[in-house]
Amino acid sequence: MSVLQTKGLTKQYAGLTAVSEVSLTVEQGQIHALIGPNGAGKSTLVGMVAGRTEPTSGEVWFEGENVTPLPAHARIRRGMAYTFQITAIYERLTLAANLELALRDRSREKAIAALDRVGLADRADQLAGDLAYGHQRLLEIAMGVAQSPKLLILDEPTQGLAESEIAEFNTLIKSLAGDTTILLIEHNMNVVMELADRITVLETGSVLAEGSPDDIKSNPDVQEAYLGHAEA
């Protein structure tokens, strides 16, 4: 069963096509990675999926329902959670308070449980702005996880993380697999190849290839366009 489908999704800005006719399907329980070079249209596509960017044409379907007309907050209520490429936390609030806001029920117990999931429970009463950047990213992921989403969209989650933190991130995402469906936008190919069940490759706003990690690694078009220049 598919959780997410995009059908011919297109975004144009003053004649420039950022995303062109992208159709993809994310199956329930999968970790589906979206990769491509800078400027490929990944964040624009995800913005349209999440309802933060209005498409020029095409549709977004979530759990069999056309949600294209719905704003971001309505999609969140239906079970989407989106973590940003740039951290979006309340720096002057504690970690626990950030989680309570994400949960909308001010439950400290649930907040601590979500922080524990990402290894930050011992920092619950620390101000979020005092965290190192990598820990701020983990806090944001906790804010997404806390909502028990049906679809968790992670936009460049390992950006700024140390190698040890990336290993912890991989362990975390593996622990979430099955509980939620994950759409992962990521430059670190080691992370993608370790985590993804399926990969879609974008180039200049269009789908270049799609398949399993082995399919993508062996695809000569992908090798030429992207993998040879991707981060190790």
Q: Where do the domains of the chain lie, and which CATH numbers do they carry?
A: 1-79+183-232 (3.40.50.300)
Q: Phi, psi (5° rounding) for residue 225?
A: -85, -30
More confident call, 151 vs 133? 151
Q: Are 3 and 26 in contact (CB under 8 A)?
A: yes
pLDDT at residue 224, rounded to an integer = 81
Residue 231 pLDDT > 70: no
* pLDDT tens digits, one per residue of 134-185: 888 889 889 888 888 999 999 888 887 888 888 888 998 998 887 899 999 9
Our CA angle for 6, 38, 91, nearest 5°, is 85
Cα 167 to Cα 138: distance, rounded to the nearest angstrom: 12
* pLDDT tens digits, one per residue of 53-106: 999 999 999 999 999 999 999 999 999 998 864 457 899 999 999 999 888 877
The whole-model pTM stands at 0.88
- Average the pLDDT over 211-230 and give the result: 81
